[in-house]
Structure 1
């Protein structure tokens, strides 16, 4: 039954009802003074009123942890299921917190496959390289500022893929780190991933829908090449993607190539990817830290050149590899007990790539 019909029969024409709540994700599309569904007071995740009712508050979670004898698990619960800010209220995902206690306090991504994400899949089917790079950067703890329309409705999402960030915010896939009200009543928000659970969900339900840009079989082959040190195979795969998927005008400098490689690495399972972090005597470009024993640590240093010959491009990749060793970028991985480290120097020029490796 449509929201408009429900509003007319259940709310507006119901003489036995004086006040009611209609909850959901997207705004009612036909709500206006000229429709049957009107005179609504709308409160979104960015509003203060009723903000504590969107989920569990910190005090409520602490009381639950005490009740179940798991007070020492509070920090773990925060890491996995906290991070939402509705209005000015800190909120935990209620579904996941309940399942966490029911599952003997073993953290998992309980939100995976709890509902249909067909709308997200449709939008991401039209995603461009910039949107892909932004979404994958979120997995590495990065944030960015974007326009947010809390009144976005389904037709707008279909017609304007850039509204995906508004949709991801109001559905819980993003959090607003900071919010600024614009002159027209809309918002500019700095957005990021809220917690560990959503990072897992992102990998499974968001990034895997971007197969038009990086097909899943290709992502698996890239992962295999990186972890086996197969430099020639990795170079061939990246070269093919550059030729097939990247406009020449996109290849403007190292920032583009950095985002391109970071996007690839975000799809590599079993690792935690970080970017532009201090280690040793400088800042590495990309690091893949294995989450389980048996996998090597990965360090990737990138260089971009202009009008390079094949020989110059090869020399540039060797310079990148040498920089990893000279600046001792592997210190953090070694401190974490990871002795087996693969180092890659990757050089780009236009749609050409050259890779040097040290195993």
Structure 2
């Protein structure tokens, strides 16, 4: 079978009219769009990068500017009765790399003057008496009620770009606040105002300046507005599912299960009953199904500048808590916060690393990783943080998978010691067996492997197991603070592997079971032993 030809993948397309005119697949969200756009309103939504916020903004732009021209065959076609309106669209990501407040103010003025010129605003630089915003206010005061539509994409980008520079952050915030104050004063001329971002900064004053601003970020009614549901994938990408199954030599059911495991699980409502797939990852998989279920998240959306800048002055929780779900209040997830008051968990939620997994009560939810792709991305982030000033390649993390598949145990253990020696011990010390296991788990995942931690069997739980294309490794770990009881601990680990028959389950790979003792004082595995015949 050749690749599907009826409709093409909308990979990288954020222009709604271009998508529709190019015969690309559009997952119909227009019933929800109608609910939002049919009444006069001011709406904000926050979502991680690579989820399709800009496409949604473009969809509103097309609807209000051109009516139903681009909506043939979509649900809204039978619902929409409103007229067209002048539309002003501002993309603040175009203002994120400016080096000074003066340059930012100049560029913002130019953006406003250019965008609003299309609907009648004329800035007169020769008027030295009236400031730019005064001229802008005077013009707005002449407009009738419900005159135009205002769309702002990535409102937070200019602020996020300067988190490390508090002076410049505050200066840009002040400039933006003046603009938002003008919007608030003349909001009567707005038929519809829609704004997107990744996080909510209380310092911008927009959420206080604009009365009755409807934040739908965690509203259950719009939990699936951005992203793909499973039903939407099965119906909208049916030909691509068949093609992927054929290319991978498997069934559509198996492909869909792997899509769930790797790219699904993002929930943006308290009950966690609704969840969506990351569109960027799904579309990349469908374009190159023969490459398997790769990690598309980390390089494209998993390193948002907001989070990376935060980590320059803060650290993640210790690796022992890497895969432990966290209880959080809904206020922490959705309330306006000052940047320096944000918890790392709230920041990870906004960046898409954590999602709502379960509602604990009316005020609290449990958050965790949505899927394998994000969990692996988080491990890479952890590995980078643990190594800090040494990249994963130089530290040897990137070579772990290949070594485990090809090299002898002695070489593998020596490589483990090399990697552990590169860890920033002042921030991430190994102090007991649990921390030793979690450090090794994170480092293996940082090398793009998915280890089983405390894997259950009929007779017990192994500390850590991991598969490569040709091997399955079983590691039973012990910790000795100073190495004095290392031999005794090693014998105990060997007996555990033998007596509890770790790795016994069928897996079709060469089994290598290793007992290892970590010496806390020496910061290395100084006792280890391969256990032959651990499983038949």
Please report the TM-score for the alignment, with normalisation by the length of structure 1. Answer: 0.75
Correspondences of 1:102-113 after superposition (within 5 Å)? 102-103=287-288, 107-113=293-299
When residues 191 and 39 of structure 1 are mapped into structure 2, their CA distance, relative to the original with a 3 A threshold, is: same
When residues 5 and 51 of structure 1 are mapped into structure 2, their CA distance, relative to the original with a 3 A threshold, is: farther
The residue aligned with 2:307 is 120
Measure the CA separation in 2 of the matches of 1:109 and 1:242. 24
The residue aligned with 2:368 is 192
Measure the CA separation in 1 of the matches of 2:336 and 2:345. 13
Correspondences of 1:158-307 after superposition (within 5 Å)? 159=340, 163-180=343-360, 188-204=364-380, 207-212=383-388, 216=392, 217-220=394-397, 223=400, 227-230=407-410, 233-234=414-415, 236-237=417-418, 240=421, 244-245=425-426, 251=431, 253-269=432-448, 271-279=449-457, 281-290=459-468, 292-293=469-470, 296-305=471-480
When residues 132 and 32 of structure 1 are mapped into structure 2, their CA distance, relative to the original with a 3 A threshold, is: same
When residues 30 and 99 of structure 1 are mapped into structure 2, their CA distance, relative to the original with a 3 A threshold, is: same
Correspondences of 1:1-359 after superposition (within 5 Å)? 1=108, 4=177, 7-8=180-181, 13=186, 15-30=188-203, 36-45=209-218, 47-66=219-238, 68=240, 70=242, 72=253, 73-87=255-269, 88-103=273-288, 107-115=293-301, 117-126=304-313, 128=315, 130-135=317-322, 138=323, 143-146=325-328, 149-151=332-334, 155-156=338-339, 159=340, 163-180=343-360, 188-204=364-380, 207-212=383-388, 216=392, 217-220=394-397, 223=400, 227-230=407-410, 233-234=414-415, 236-237=417-418, 240=421, 244-245=425-426, 251=431, 253-269=432-448, 271-279=449-457, 281-290=459-468, 292-293=469-470, 296-305=471-480, 309=484, 312-332=485-505, 335-348=506-519, 353-358=525-530
- How far the C-alpha of 1:155 sits from its partner, in A, is 4.8
Q: Is the 8 A contact 2:359 2:366 kept in 1?
A: yes
Secondary structure (helix, strand or coil) at the match of 1:44 reads: coil
Q: Is the 8 A contact 1:32 1:38 kept in 2?
A: no
Higher-Rg member (1/2)? 2
Q: Is the 8 A contact 2:354 2:369 kept in 1?
A: yes
Bigger shift: 48-57 or 91-100?
91-100
Measure the CA separation in 1 of the matches of 2:259 and 2:442. 28
After superposing on structure 2, the runs of 4+ consecutive aligned residues of structure 1 that deviate more than 6 Å are none
Q: Is the 8 A contact 1:84 1:175 kept in 2?
A: yes
When residues 330 and 78 of structure 1 are mapped into structure 2, their CA distance, relative to the original with a 3 A threshold, is: closer
Measure the CA separation in 2 of the matches of 1:41 and 1:25. 16
Q: Is the 8 A contact 1:284 1:300 kept in 2?
A: yes
The root-mean-square deviation of aligned C-alpha atoms, in Å, is 3.8
Measure the CA separation in 1 of the matches of 2:262 and 2:179. 36
- How far the C-alpha of 1:164 sits from its partner, in A, is 2.0
When residues 76 and 259 of structure 1 are mapped into structure 2, their CA distance, relative to the original with a 3 A threshold, is: closer
- How far the C-alpha of 1:126 sits from its partner, in A, is 4.5
- How far the C-alpha of 1:351 sits from its partner, in A, is 5.6
Measure the CA separation in 2 of the matches of 1:343 and 1:83. 34
Q: Which runs of 5+ in 2 are unaligned?
A: 1-107, 109-154, 156-175, 243-251, 532-536
The residue aligned with 2:69 is none
- How far the C-alpha of 1:221 sits from its partner, in A, is 8.8
- How far the C-alpha of 1:300 sits from its partner, in A, is 1.5
Q: Which runs of 5+ in 1 are unaligned?
A: none
Q: Is the 8 A contact 2:482 2:522 kept in 1?
A: no
Secondary structure (helix, strand or coil) at the match of 2:375 reads: helix
Measure the CA separation in 2 of the matches of 1:34 and 1:277. 47
Measure the CA separation in 1 of the matches of 2:298 and 2:354. 15
Deviations 1:196-251 (A, max 9, x none): 33234334556434432875233439938765422773575477468944788x72
Q: Is the 8 A contact 1:298 1:342 kept in 2?
A: yes
When residues 320 and 214 of structure 1 are mapped into structure 2, their CA distance, relative to the original with a 3 A threshold, is: farther
Measure the CA separation in 2 of the matches of 1:301 and 1:209. 26
When residues 288 and 12 of structure 1 are mapped into structure 2, their CA distance, relative to the original with a 3 A threshold, is: farther
Secondary structure (helix, strand or coil) at the match of 1:90 reads: coil
- How far the C-alpha of 1:163 sits from its partner, in A, is 1.5
- How far the C-alpha of 1:189 sits from its partner, in A, is 3.3
